[in-house]
Amino acid sequence: MVNIESKLPTVGTTIFTVMSQLAKKHNAINLSQGFPNYDIAERLKTLAKANIDGGFNQYAPMAGDAGLREALAKKLEQSSGSKINMDTEITITAGATQAIYTAVSAFIQPGDEVILIEPAYDCYAPSVIVNGGKVIAYPLQFPDYKVDWEIFEKLITPSTKMIMINTPHNPTGSILRKSDLEQLEKIVADTNIIVLSDEVYEHLIYDNEVHESALKYPKLKERSIVTYSFGKTFHGTGWKLGYAVAPEYLMKEFRKVHQFNVFCVNHPLQKALTSFLENPEEYLNLPSFYQRKRDFLQAVLAESGFKPIHCAGTYFQLYDYSQLSDEDDMTFAKRITKDYGVATIPISPFYGSGTKGKVVRFCFAKTEDLLEQAGARLQKISAI
């Protein structure tokens, strides 16, 4: 056996795998991991098959199919008002997770500090640590999960190299508004800080709220790498396709890592998405589609001991279970999976040092019949 020194000595199996395996073991309804239980659009499947049959089965260009990048440049200009150069500022990636890892790898040197807003999606911190960076956590507080930018700014030091934001935010469902982006823009002005903005749930935003992208703010845009996910938008998480947007001087470095990481990604699916994007209704209807599901889940749990925390975006709903149990969130989540047949995600793994909050996350990207079945089971949970 070879003696090794782990680059991630404290990292174990992701909580999503843990809870999904537990759900399978106990035949539970899986509202833990974030994926729909319904299929992608028939038209998108037809387009994928047509491009496989059409012979687009060899390497795509390293930066991504030109037609897809052109379509995305137009889409982004419409949504953010920002002109994007398809040749130098967009790269198609193997999902947003690869884009995030590539961005961190391209810019973080040993000893660099990266500020994360916690609870943070579980790939953020390991990406920093494996590249020798130091995680600096800003913890959002229950129940509103808002950023106090005066406190946040105090975390910045001469070693701060990157700030990672996520809006709409997984797992809390909160969003950053215009005032938040304006304050962040002022904070990073005249610094060498790069902003990595995870905007994979850009179209999953509710109650007539508006998605505020880093691309809308010129002084942020000039120092930001923004990541997106086709899987989240078009119900195809297994396709693992996304993209990154950044100014040319940042994208040049991003692509240096990208080309030796994956080089390029699935060619026929890129072609399929190019055609699919011709109809904007495929993504413009998503807010109403998912808001109905959010509201349906809240309705079926209205008489339970679970109390919803406002969800402004994503397809996740946080619930306060403090009226039902004094257990920590991990114990509670595992118990209701085993005893009541519904799997959820505890929030503490999204914090580097854990949290004492009595909060769990349910995914509502499910058919209404499944949400109703889950609600009936969760209604049976009584205080202990």
Tell me the per-residue pLDDT of 57-101, one tens digit each, with 9 for 90 and over: 999 999 999 999 999 999 999 999 999 999 999 999 999 999 999
Give me the mean pLDDT over the 31-53 stretch: 96
Q: Beta strands 194-198 and 224-229: pairing type?
A: parallel
Q: Model pTM?
A: 0.96
User: Looking at residue 384, what is its pLDDT?
Assistant: 65
Q: Which residues contact 238 (CB under 8 A, 6 or more apart)?
A: 35, 231
The CATH 3.40.640.10 portion of the chain extends over 58-278
The helices-and-strands tally (H runs, E runs) of the chain is 15, 13
Alpha-carbon gap, residue 216 to 283, rounded angstroms: 19
Closest CA to 227 of 106, 354, 103: 103
- Whether residue 330 is predicted with pLDDT greater than 90 in this model: the reply is yes
d(CA 340, CA 377): 6
Q: How far apart are CA 374 and CA 384, in angstroms?
A: 20
CA distance 253 to 105: 10
Stretch 20-29: mean pLDDT? 96
Q: What angle do CA 44, 49, 51 make, to 5 degrees?
A: 95
Q: Is the pLDDT of residue 288 over 70?
A: yes
The whole-angstrom separation of Cα 59 and Cα 267 is 6
Is beta strand 242-245 parallel, antiparallel or unpaired with respect to 224-229? antiparallel
Query: Can you point out the beta strands (E) in the chain?
Result: 29-30, 90-93, 113-118, 134-139, 160-166, 194-198, 224-229, 242-245, 307-308, 316-320, 342-343, 345-346, 359-363
What would the pLDDT profile of 137-183 be if each residue is shown by its tens digit? 999 989 999 999 999 999 999 999 999 999 999 999 999 999 999 99
Q: For the chain, first and last CA: distance in Å?
A: 48
**Mean pLDDT score, 310-318:** 98
Q: Where in the chain is the domain with CATH 3.90.1150.10?
A: 15-40+284-378
**pLDDT tens by residue, 96-122:** 999 999 999 999 999 999 999 999 999
Task: Say which amino acid occupies 147.
Answer: V
The rounded percent of the chain whose pLDDT value lies above 70 is: 99
Calculate mean pLDDT across residues 288-300. Answer: 98
Q: 382 falls in which pLDDT band (50, 70, 90)? A: confident
pLDDT band at 353 (very low <50, low <70, confident <90, very high): confident
Average pLDDT over residues 264-274: 98
Kind plus residue range of the DSSP H or E element containing 182: helix 178-188
Q: Which two tokens stand for residue 82?
A: 């920002």
Contact 274, 65 (CB under 8 A): yes
- Residues 44-66, mean pLDDT to the nearest whole number: 98
Distance CA 1, CA 111 (A): 31
| Architecture (CATH level 2) of domain 15-40+284-378 | Alpha-Beta Complex (3.90)
Kindly state the average pLDDT of the residues 360-382: 97
Q: For residues 89 and 245, what is the distance between their CA atoms, to the nearest angstrom?
A: 6
| Cβ proximity of 273 and 341 under 8 Å | no
Contact predicate 257/282, CB 8 Å: no
- Which helix or strand (DSSP H or E) is residue 273 part of? helix 267-276
State the chain's mean pLDDT as an integer.
96
pLDDT of 213 above 80: yes
DSSP single-letter state for residue 205: B
Give me the CATH code for the 58-278 domain, please. Answer: 3.40.640.10
DSSP class of residue 8 equals: S
Length of the chain, in residues: 384
Q: Rounded to whole angstroms, how far apart are CA atoms 200 and 168?
A: 8
pLDDT recorded at residue 347: 95
What span, in angstroms and rounded, lies between the C-alpha atoms of 306 and 382? 10
Q: Judging by DSSP bridges, how do beta strands 194-198 and 160-166 pair with one another?
A: parallel
